[in-house]
Structure 1
Amino acid sequence: MRFPFAHRPESNRSADRGEQVTDTFGPSALRVGAKSLELPGGVCASFAVAGYPREVGAGWLEPLLTYPGRLDVSLHVEPIPPLIAAQRLRRQLARLESSSRSNADHGRMADFTAEAAADDAANLAASLARGHGRLFRMGLYLTVHAADAEELEAEVQRVRALAASLLLNAQPTTFRALQGWVATLPLATDAVRLRRAFDTGALAASFPFTSPDLEPRLGQTPVLYGLNAYSSGAVWWDRFAQDNHNSVTIARSGAGKSYFTKLEVLRLLFHQVEVAVVDPEDEYRRLASAVGGTHIGLGAPGVCFNPFDLPEGQDEDTFIRRALFIQTLVAAMLGGPLAPAHRAALDRAVVAAYAARGINSDRRTWGRPAPLLADLAAQLDRDGSAEAADLSARLAPYVTGSYRGLFAGPTTTRPDGHLIVFSLRDLPEETRPVGMLLALDAIWRRVANTGDRRRRLVVVDEAWTLMHESEGARFLYRLAKSARKHWAGLAVVTQDAADLLASDLGRAVIANSATQLLLRQSPQVIDEIGTAFDLTGGEKAFLLAAGRGEALLCGGSGGDRAAFYAVAGPQEHDLATTDPAELIELDAARGHAEEVDPL
């Protein structure tokens, strides 16, 4: 029998479109045999699984999913209403018990298969009654592909042997070859309908994304990290379900650490996790633009960030803490701690600058426009003391000099939203500690806001740049220690493994990170990495030879480990890549699209 799937005319424009559709979704025609189908590119045979093992574990279908040949595996799941499931279980129990009693009355030997089935049915009924699980109808179908009939016969024998090793009874869909093939297509259509009742636990173990190598605790924010490097099973991880929510990612330059971090940020945003990023190289701009996030380019022309702004919804001592932060900020601007006399003069000037704008410790005044750094300098000039005059003179570069751009006016972009990116690329080296302190202060205020509790993640990319600054180092240490108490996680991403492992701060970050990710390492630091993370010889060899995007996940209280490689969809890849060649192509394609359709 020959069934044409589509007619492909050659004469008009719609014909080309129809040809593209049929080439994408199916063949133009096929020949149906008793046990096989002939397709334009080869032949295939389908099987329906009629028998299953009595007990299964996590990832028990993994051998089928990782079969080296071309094998399509389709799992059809249909829930059974609880009332119908309970009725059927009662009838099944009645039949099994009746059969057992009949055998005993007539002196026949016990049927151990029936007794095991009765025990299973009783356990299922008890689980349903307590609401611990449900029943589902599940159909498992396989389609084997080959180039010709001879090769297909050999592939069929290997697949049936593999199924038999898993205690699966795979029966060919004789005289229903077309229906069997359609059942393995991504159409959610099951015309064969050879089903088996599964409970919740067995169905969960049969789910194709179950990894037998890693059994993490999954909560409400599971993220697909990638595919297992050895078994091709999916590696899922939920940082918010671990003992703490912190992570550390260490890799050499070009190994894909920032690419992977962007993928995790994107997928956590789907779970409504608020993310803040400290971005030294401005790599997250396109990502923030695509998802409607907030991008603050500190140091860029026209971008101002006023440190005197009072946050909304804070505690009663917010005004006092803001005044103390201004003193810390001024100390960073001047390059060292302040003497007691200078600190006293600065405190008087800060309070006076707020008072000149009508702002004091009364919460009702906090909505008024905040003073600027120029207002603080003016109050120092009015103070009249030698210490105040000295502070005003030393602050001149930030008020009227070449560093004034960041503090010249009110804040241009508020650090609000589901994704906040602080870019530090445009900050000159002389003002980078100051800009970094402003960004970290804004992030900490959101994390520590007790009036707005939610899951948050703070990503510090290229963390080695922060660790070289005293204020950045203290921020990382404080957040690593206390982030969990504020329902937040710290993600430290760095390529300088030596600096991280050689400092007390680095070791504290690692010790307080339940999620540890290692990508490709250089031979110079692999021994130090191996000692710090207790790696085996095979794991060190994997990290030395790992390709771009391949990583070793070390996490969980039980020391779970899995080698995986990151996977991304086309749109995710476009947002995460930093390859200059790919970025040029993306910009060219975007410009062409705007020329074609300017709207």
Structure 2
Amino acid sequence: MCSSFAVTGYPRVVGAGWLEPLLTFPGRLDVSLHIAPIPPLIAAQRLRRQLARLESASRSDAQRGRLADFAAEAAADDAAELAASLARGHGRLFRVGLYLTVHAPDASTLEGDVQRVRALAASLLLDAQPTTFRALQGWTTTLPLACDSIGTRRVFDTAALAASFPFTSPDLQPVLGDTPVLYGLNAYSSGVVVWDRFAQDNYNSVTLARSGAGKSYFTKLETLRLLYQDVHVAVIDPEDEYQRLCDHVAGTHIALGAPGVCFNPFDLPESQGEDTLIRRALFLQTLIGTMLGEPLTPAARAVLDRAVLATYRARGIGSDPRTWARPAPVLADLTKQLDAVAETDAPEASTAADLSARLAPFTSGSYRSLFAGPTTTRPTGHLVVFSLRDLPDEVRTVGMLLALDAIWRTVANPDDRRRRLVVVDEAWTLMREDEGARFLYRLAKSARKHWAGLAVVTQDAGDLLSTDLGRSVIANSATQILLRQAPQAIDHIVDAFDLTDGEKTFLLAADRGQGLLCGTGTGSDRAAFSAIASPHEHELVTTDPAELATRAGTEGHDVDKEHDPR
């Protein structure tokens, strides 16, 4: 059984999310909102007639000595504001119909629910009238048929209509651009939390959570949804958690340190500026200093600089940009140049011999696999994932530096400007290394100038908040996401993000996937949310070992059945 109502009276002023009490009614209540835009010309004509009618009534009452009709005066003021807004192009007018249908299993229950719904509507200053003689039309109007059979409409302006959107969250007023992303459902209402990092003051974000709170799960969800918006994403993945997602969207997965995977540091970037070769030579000096585990002396730097340029010349690559498309040399070619210098009587022969000997593990020793040949997979595409799991600890810093350099070259490429996001998962592993820390600092400061954002994800909140680098990353992040926190770290979080007692309690008791979005780009917007994913998205982003083991067992069982001769 059901009973339908048409709303004929509305409050004069409404705020964001004002329809939320109707959506959270404990019984079964269908709420239907029908919207039809009014052409600007017709809207202006109607407003002029309405203003003339109200002004005429006001003058007539004054001439006859009647008391002022305050409702008419308020209506005249509202009509004048609407007319001014419409004339300036600040908004538009819409015809809006709001209808309710209450469902119940029997007549007595229906009567009680109807009384509660009408009382709730009255508390919202809504006048809900039953569609007594048009019950069928009232019921069909609340069905998802986009058909208004009742036709009881009220004129709304743009602001009032936006506030009437059923999923508007009263806690969060984001600035949305071209790349809005669904973060989840509001933890305290039925609204959705939608956020656009590229519409904020800067595009950086920081995600802090204890282990197992769902920070990587949430980050992969945002990555997948940003790919829908044509945002190019690069990921530093220490634990190889993004491979299934990368393979599904046809991204580029580079497992540094895996057998057969080479990454040549001598490769010249595709964007060719006048100083491309010089910049590559300078980076190689930094890279080799990292390989040797100590800064280069001035003498060693001079010898290495000449050897690097000689290595390129041996492959026919010089200052002429037309030669830069030729195959690049590899690290073993550099040691050959150093050996050639060492065999001479030049003063720098001993320095060249020392450099060549110390580079031997990377060219002919245990660490040679990553530098043994030309690059096997170019870091190009809409999603590029650098997996660091297979890198031994002895060369992890070097491999990380190669990945960061490749990402920075892509971000800073002036010939290919587009929205980009650099995701650094488990950022505490980068912050332990000097080169990784400097990369995060540089990207946090200058990413916005290159239309890129930095997403820092870490579980080590104490180390992040106790360093100048960590505080700089947070200060330059307009999007801040806090998931479940450990009691040992919550006091640092409260001080750094100025949390209330209620927000502190929420973060300590939050379930997996629940968090607090703090948007600093438009003020102090905050919303507690619960991340949601479709079954297909969940399959791509989950890393729950039990679930993955169950899935692998099921797939193996299915394979066995297919090959079972019975």
Q: What's the TM-score bracket when you normalise by the shorter of the two chains?
A: over 0.9
* Aligned position for 1:205: 163
State the distance in 2 between where 1:164 and 1:246 align.
Answer: 44
Please tell me the residue identity of whatever aligns with 2:223: V
Q: Is 1:568 aligned to residue 526 of structure 2?
A: no
**Aligned-pair CA distance for 1:325:** 0.7
1:218–1:237 CA contact under 8 A, matched in 2: yes
For residues 99 and 549 of structure 2, the distance between their equivalents in structure 1, rounded to whole angstroms, comes to 44
Structure 1 position 506 matched with structure 2 position 457:
no
The equivalent residue for 1:62 is 20
Match of 1:25 in 2: none
What stretches of structure 2 of length at least 5 have no aligned partner?
Answer: 343-348
User: Aligned ranges for residues 7-406 of structure 1 at < 5 Å?
Assistant: 37=1, 44-384=2-342, 385-406=349-370
Task: Report the CA distance between 1:378 and its aligned residue.
Answer: 1.5
Q: Deviations over 1:447-491 (max 9, x none)?
A: 222232222211100011111112111111111122222222211
Query: Does 1 or 2 have the higher relative contact order (CA < 8 Å, sep 6+)?
Result: 2
Give the Cα–Cα distance (whole angstroms) in 1 for the partners of residues 460 and 477 of structure 2: 17
1:550: which partner in 2?
Answer: 514
* Aligned residues of 1:314 and 1:449 also touching (Cα < 8 A): no
CA contact 1:216–1:556 (8 Å) conserved in 2: no
After TM superposition, give the deviation of residue 69 of structure 1 in Å: 2.9
- The residue number in structure 1 matching 2:458 is 494
2:524 to 529, 552, 559: 559
Write out per-residue CA displacement over residues 539-594 of structure 1, whole angstroms, 9 at most, x where no aligned residue: 2211111101111122225332222111222222222211234335555777869x
For the pair 1:482 / 2:446, whether they are aligned, the reply is yes
Q: 2-side partners of 1:516 and 1:92: how far apart? A: 48
- Aligned-residue CA RMSD (Å): 2.2
Distance 1:260 1:68 in 2: 30
Superposed displacement of residue 440, structure 1: 0.5
For residue 430 of structure 1, give the secondary structure of its aligned residue in structure 2: helix
> Corresponding residue for 2:346?
none
- Deviation of 1:317 after TM superposition, in Å, equals 1.3
**Counterpart-to-counterpart distance in 1, 2:233 and 2:371:** 25
SS of 2:394's partner is coil
Alpha-carbon distance, 1:444 to partner: 0.9
Measured in 1, the distance between the counterparts of 2:108 and 2:252 equals 60
- Quote the offset at 1:89 in angstroms: 2.3
Equivalents in 2 of 1:456, 1:444: separation in Å? 11
> Distance in 2 between the 1:301 and 1:140 partners?
64
Aligned counterparts of 1:81 and 1:63: Cα–Cα separation in 2: 32
Q: Return the offset for 1:521.
A: 1.0
SS in 2 for 1:310: coil
Q: Secondary structure at the match of 2:393?
A: coil
Indicate the residue corresponding to 2:542 in structure 1. Answer: 577
Residue matched to 1:459: 423
In 1, are the aligned partners of 2:272 and 2:321 still within 8 Å (CA)?
no
Does the C-alpha gap of structure 1 residues 187 and 259 become closer, same or farther in structure 2, counting only changes over 3 Å? farther
Is the CA contact 1:246–1:513 (under 8 Å) kept in the aligned structure 2?
A: yes
CA contact (8 A) 2:167 2:190 kept: no
SS in 2 for 1:269: helix
Q: 1:54, CA displacement in angstroms? A: 1.4
For normalisation by structure 2, the TM-score amounts to 0.93
SS at match of 1:553: strand
Q: What amino acid is the match of 2:425? A: D
Aligned mates of 2:482, 2:158 — CA distance in 1: 35
C-alpha separation between the residues in 1 aligned to 2:553 and 2:250? 22
Q: Which residue type is aligned with residue 562 of structure 1?
A: A
Q: Secondary structure at the match of 1:136?
A: strand
| Contact 1:294/1:421 (8 A) holds in 2 | yes
Structure 1 residue 261, shift from structure 2 partner = 0.9
How far the C-alpha of 1:94 sits from its partner, in A, is 3.1
Secondary structure of the 1:347 match is helix
Closer, same or farther: CA 55–483 of 1 in aligned 2, 3 Å: same
TM-superposed deviation, 1:97: 2.9
Instruction: State the 1:280 CA deviation.
Output: 0.7
AA at the equivalent of 1:570: P
The alpha-carbon deviation at position 177 of structure 1 amounts to 3.1
Shift of residue 243 of structure 1? 2.6
Secondary structure of 1:194 counterpart: coil
Cα deviation code 1:205-240 (max 9, x no counterpart): 111222111223333333222222122322222222
Which amino acid letter does the alignment assign opposite residue 404 of structure 1?
R
Structure-2 separation of matches of 1:434 and 1:305: 11
- Secondary structure class of the residue paired with 1:245: coil
Distance 1:182 1:291, change over 3 A: farther
Q: Report deviation, 1:118.
A: 2.5
Verify: 1:518 aligned to 2:476, yes or no: no
- Distance change (3 Å), C-alpha of 1:137 and 1:502: same
Distance 1:362 1:413 in 2: 26
Aligned partner of 1:540: which letter? K
Give the secondary-structure state (helix, strand or coil) at the position aligned to 2:236: strand
Structure 2 Cα separation of the partners of residues 227 and 515 of structure 1: 17
CA distance in structure 1 between the partners assigned to 2:103 and 2:68 by the alignment: 44
For the residue of structure 2 that corresponds to 1:50, the secondary structure is: strand
Q: Residue by residue, what CA displacement relative to the aligned partner does 1:174-205 show, whole Å, maximum 9, x if unpaired?
A: 24333333333333232222221111111111
Contact 1:314–1:451 (CA under 8 A) maintained in structure 2:
no
1:303-358 per-position Cα deviation (integer Å, ceiling 9, x unaligned): 22111111122432121111011111111122222222222222121101111111
Give the letter for the 1:266 counterpart: L
Please list the CA deviations of residues 509-547 of structure 1 after superposition, one character each: whole Å capped at 9, or x if unmatched.
Answer: 122222221111111211222222222222221111110
Question: Using the alignment, how far apart are the partners of 1:386 and 1:189 within structure 2?
Answer: 87
CA distance in 2, matches of 1:348, 1:56: 72
Instruction: State the partner residue of 2:436.
Output: 472
Query: For residues 402 and 185 of structure 1, what CA distance do their matches in structure 2 show?
Result: 69
Answer yes or no: is 1:450 the counterpart of 2:445.
no
Gaps of 5+ in 1: 1-36, 38-43
- TM-fit CA distance, 1:146: 2.9
Q: Which residue, out of 381, 384, 387, partners 1:417? A: 381
* Structure 1 Cα separation of the partners of residues 483 and 312 of structure 2: 49
- Tell me the distance in 2 between the aligned counterparts of 1:318 and 1:79: 55
How far apart, CA to CA, are the structure 2 residues paired with 1:214 and 1:415?
37
